[in-house]
Chain A
Amino acid sequence: MTIGIVVFPGSNCDRDVYWATEGCLGMPSRFLWHESTDLSDLEAIVLPGGFSYGDYLRCGAIARFAPVLSSLIEFVNGGGKVLGICNGFQILTELGILPGALTRNNNLHFICDTVPLIVSSKRTEWFKSFEFGERILLPIAHGEGRFQCDPDVLKRLQDDDSIAIRYNENPNGSIFDVAGITNKKGNVLGMMPHPERACDNKIGGVDGKLILQSLLSK
């Protein structure tokens, strides 16, 4: 089975994801143009980071209408694994597959850094290689990563154990230090940090590799 990496006009982490999944992890991967709708050979789909459709209107707002994403909803309902990284996370919230929204960082800066995160749920397969409460290091690179939702939604996320990772030192003002969440079923993960940029010790760590590994079941 194969991992599909969606390419929107303006995606810029699609090749990094391919490098990580196919190159570092040896998992069969292919690019998936935003106009394609046939996902039948895929076990998992990654929505990579970047600036899809220039991020016009709001991040992810226009990407939401791409043909590939109508098929993605069926794919998710069928239990397929979907990982949205950065802009991919923004798209998943715009689509309503994940709750909340990603808004402008509270300090208005585009933050490019490597930050400590805490694994805050072991409910899903995504973080099965880590311990609960484990501190991991991943790069972040975003201007609009402040996770925002109303108190009821936050409570539901907590009750469902859907808050997957949290910032150790909140860089952007996200509510409850949220850096990544899963859907209730657990097959969808959206996260602002970039696991694909942490797959080789030479470039600053391999914590991302352990997350990407869970895209394909063994």
Chain B
Amino acid sequence: MSKFRARILVSLRPSVLDPAGEATKTAANQLGIKGLSKLRIGKSIDIDIDALNEEEAKKQIELLSDRLLANPVIEDWSMELLQVV
């Protein structure tokens, strides 16, 4: 078994309104931030997982992300996977 460390990023699909992101963008403008044209809020989930190999780890993380961490109706997800030595 090897240990893998992954960070899964969950974001609202581009077609879905992100009111929290919009509100934060308004606040950023009030702070005087220049040139900000997009601000969207997502989630970052850090996990450690033991698996035989990278392929197996990816499979498990895909299942986890598709079925639990993200709701595919409104969200997209991506992952960064690292092997922990």
CB distance from A105 to the nearest CB of B (A): 7
Q: Are A108 and B19 also in contact (CB < 8 A) when A57-B68, A61-B68 are?
A: yes
A173 touches B17 (CB 8 A): yes
A104 to B15, CA, bound (A): 14
A79 to B52, CA, bound (A): 44
A100 touches B19 (CB 8 A): no
Q: Which of B20-60 contact A (CB under 8 A)?
A: 20, 23
Report the interface size for chain B: residues with CB under 8 A from the other chain: 13
B73 touches A149 (CB 8 A): yes
A122 to B18, CA, bound (A): 34
A93 interface hit (Cβ, 8 Å): yes
User: In the complex, which residues of chain B have a beta carbon less than 8 angstroms from the beta carbon of A149?
Assistant: 73
Q: Which of A30-79 contact B (CB under 8 A)?
A: 57-58, 61, 65
A108 to B12, CA, bound (A): 16
A159 interface hit (Cβ, 8 Å): no
A196 interface hit (Cβ, 8 Å): no
B19 touches A105 (CB 8 A): yes
Partner of B73, one of A65, A101, A146: A101
Q: Are A104 and B73 also in contact (CB < 8 A) when A57-B68, A150-B15 are?
A: no
A158 interface hit (Cβ, 8 Å): no
B19 touches A101 (CB 8 A): no
A108 to B18, CA, bound (A): 10
Interface string of A72-113 (1 = CB under 8 A from B): 000000000000000000000110000111011111100000
B74 interface hit (Cβ, 8 Å): yes
Interface string of A131-153 (1 = CB under 8 A from B): 00000000000000010111000
B71 touches A58 (CB 8 A): yes
Partner of B74, one of A65, A101, A105, A106: A101
A57 to B18, CA, bound (A): 16
